[in-house]
Chain A
Amino acid sequence: MKKVLGVTLGILTAIGGFVDIGDLVTNALVGARFGLHLAWVVIVGVIGICLYAEMCGRVVAMSGRPVFDLIRERLGPRTGLLTLVASFLVTLLTLIAEIGGVALALELASGVHYLLWMPLAAFAVWLVIWRVKFSRLEQVFGLLGLLLVVFAVALFTLGPDWGQLLHQATRPHPIGHENWATYAYYGIALFGAAMTPYEVFFFSSGGVEEKWTRSDLVTARSNVFVGFPLGGLLSLAIMGGAAVLFLPAGIKVETLGQVTLPVAVALGKLGLAIVLIGVFAATFGAALETALSCGYTIAQYRGWQWGKFVRPREASRFHVVIIVCLVLAMLTLLTAVDPVQVTEYSVVFAAMALPLTYLPILIVANDPDYVGEEKNGPVRNAFGLVYLALLTVASAAAIPLMIITKGGQ
């Protein structure tokens, strides 16, 4: 019974934790501009993250080694360093976007300008990392993030023409005055938002934090195979709401307030209150995950003691990295850059860093030294290779498309 409870809790946490500022903004933005014509990318992305997160979970449960340990070990110090720099910068950029998201959610709830909330948000993130136990931090924000289910409730309440939504979802091409370049650009953005590198850094390091062993494989797999797809459905609900409300009116989504508007229109003030708490929890939870991931990547590359399973003073360099990253995030946001635009760029840069992050995982998931008998089968390897090819294409196309479309204009 206790086991079932643990598995259920894990799944619920995974659903609530799946959506972050990148998913919120990108799905709403794409829904408003392309309807559901890009919905298939979310499904492709969710399958990809399931595939690779499961490999990470298996490697951690069997060997106790997190992802970035493997990246340096399999790619060597030089390519490993390149991967470290790329994925660290992307994770830092995501951290900036998440903290901006927390502050924007607080602004929407209070009317007080987000720049005043922002230092408080960054400090709160640090305090939680400094003082709160790993398992508790994951559960509280994951479960509160489940409130984002109101996006799905709102979509049903809006009473859309389901036939038309299905029609859009099954026609993968640009519409209106959008062209193939912007279509591909936002496809890559959605892909990057669904498969963001920090997700596997956090998932695998979390496995070490919670001391996973072989017997935890069931938990790890149920989190991945049930929790992530249900989280992906939330992403589609956000996209659907925006498609119903904004696409016919030709309105572009440029603020976090617009992201939550479908819920406010469908469910009124109560809905808005719930969605704001949900957005706060999702972005705050993701801010914790990205701040920790900044520390995890550098510490694991260098071999430093890391993690919340030891006292802060025993992992001093790990905690210093986190503090420095939070200060950098705060200083960047103080220049009054638009957090929503930071988010848009962060998901595209995430797409660029993907192949180097995922290649070592695929290699090690085949290495009996690490996973014993739990090696990848031929089906998993075939899927893994197909995704690696997809990631490489997306990664190579990201910058040219960013230039051609002037950042998706």
Chain B
Amino acid sequence: MPGESGRVLHAQLHLLDRQLIDQADGHLAGKVDDVELDLDADPPVVTALITGRERITARRIVDITTAVTVSVEDLDLDYYDDWVENHVIAKIPGARHAPE
């Protein structure tokens, strides 16, 4: 947790396998696959969340409710989604339009 807020959380219950949400656009951005802890600190603090191959440092965590909102900025959480979008979905007519 960011030092200043210092919420006490049960890492397994409140963080692991939670939905990640991109603060910028509200899009779903993967799951918390793992949690990195600093065990030297007392009590231990969460230093980062791991999703896929990306590491999200604790300072990027904006909010923790039933999902975890993060500030994605330069992290590439949408790599595979963008790949599928550019190679498959965007080629189908109507992919840019909202359904009616």
Contact = CB atoms under 8 A, between A and B. Distances in A.
B89 A303 contact: no
Interface in A293-334: 299, 302-306, 308, 310-314, 316-317, 319-320
A132 B94 CA distance: 11
Contacts of B29: 303, 305
Given A303-B29, A305-B28, A312 B19 contact: no
Nearest to A129: B99
B81 interface: yes
Interface stretch (A31-39, A48-56, A68-76): A68-76
B12 to A, nearest CB: 9
A69 B17 CA distance: 8
Interface in B3-62: 14, 16-20, 27-31, 33, 51
Contact of A313 (B30, B33, B95, B100): B95
A303 B19 contact: yes
A313 B96 contact: yes
A312 B95 CA distance: 5
B17 A80 contact: yes
A302 B33 CA distance: 10
B89 A131 contact: no
Given A132-B99, A308-B99, A320-B84, A303 B51 contact: yes
B76 to A, nearest CB: 15
A308 B97 CA distance: 11
Given A130-B94, A316-B89, A310 B18 contact: no
B19 A69 contact: yes
B31 A65 contact: no
A77 interface: yes
Which label, helix, strand, loop or mixed, suits the secondary structure of the A interface? helix
B98 interface: yes
B17 A73 contact: yes
Contacts of A308: 99
B88 interface: yes
B67 A65 contact: yes
A63 interface: yes
A80 B33 CA distance: 13
A225 interface: no
B89 A305 contact: no
A316 B85 contact: yes
Contacts of A76: 16-17
B89 A319 contact: yes
A88 interface: no
B30 A303 contact: yes
B75 interface: no
Contact of B28 (A77, A131, A303, A369): A303
Contacts of B100: 131-133, 136
A77 B92 CA distance: 33
A305 B81 contact: yes
Given A134-B99, A311-B96, A317-B81, A303 B27 contact: no
B97 A316 contact: no
Contacts of A131: 94, 97, 99-100
A133 B27 CA distance: 19
Interface of A: 63-65, 69, 72-73, 76-77, 80, 130-134, 136, 299, 302-306, 308, 310-314, 316-317, 319-320, 369-370
23 contacts: A63-B65, A64-B66, A64-B67, A73-B16, A76-B17, A77-B33, A80-B17, A130-B94, A131-B97, A133-B100, A134-B99, A136-B100, A303-B31, A303-B51, A305-B28, A305-B29, A308-B99, A311-B96, A311-B97, A313-B85, A316-B81, A316-B85, A369-B66
Closest 5 CB pairs of A and B: A303-B31, A316-B85, A316-B89, A303-B30, A63-B66
